[in-house]
Amino acid sequence: MNKRKSILVTGATSGVGYALTKRLLAEGYEVWATGRTPAVLKELKSEGAHAVSADLSKKEDVEQLVAKVGLLDAVVFSAGVGTFERAHETPDEAIEAMMAINVIGPMQLTKLLLPGMIDRRSGHLIYLGSQAGKVATPKASVYAASKHAIIGYTNALRMEVAPFGIHVTTINPGPIDTPFLDLADETGIYRTSLGKHLLTVETVVDSVINTVGKPVRDVNLPWYMGITSKLHALAPTLVERLGRKYFMKK
């Protein structure tokens, strides 16, 4: 591995993004870390990261971030928010936040970073999607919609940029044991009901690390959820009926 490959990680101040940033630094990458928690950014900077405070729901922050990072070898889009609630009970501000941070922000950042990668004819864009983007479940309608959007976007983007030597990957994990889960479902019911089925942060980080620089289309975590999504595409009504007990865990 080229020890000085330059990688930008969004959402670097919490969860998967935080753990990934620390792993990349430990493995010798040049890391640009962005997030919204000053104390954590300060910590990451002390460990060698280029730390940039940015809110990806604000276009001006996205533009300023791109102006600072310059040319990159790879980008990992791990910033994300979620609220698990029934569609008619989801607050407007939560709907807007999920669309702004999970969808619009990554699209705007991609748009601004692509010209440099196209000129150089290399690069790797890695998006943290979700199994929710393949199989939607109750109380996750808006969150699932945001992840469906990213999967659709990357499927088209992948074909657009392939002639320029640019890879596009989606990592689609199931529920992960991170603070995201507690924020998305403040009742704690979902975390409790999933128990040992929660993915560890390390599992997701390993998947990203193993993907960097490789022409991988997508990764499903855990692997058996990839089978579920394929079956759902073929027989959605049957899968939803058979999986109702699991899908209703929120």
Which residue is listed with tokens 């939607």?
136
Count of positions (residues) in the chain: 250
Is 127 an annotated catalytic residue? no
Nearest-angstrom CA–CA distance, 116 and 189: 45
Catalytic residue (choose from 18, 29, 127, 143)? 143
DSSP letter at 104 equals: I
Nearest-angstrom CA–CA distance, 198 and 178: 9
Beta bridge mates, 137: none
Long-range contact set of residues 19-25: C-beta below 8 Å, sequence gap at least 24: 19/201, 19/202, 19/205, 20/76, 20/78, 20/205, 20/208, 20/209, 21/49, 22/47, 23/205, 23/209, 24/209, 25/49
Asked if 51 contacts 45 with a C-beta cutoff of 8 angstroms, the reply is yes
Positions marked catalytic: 143
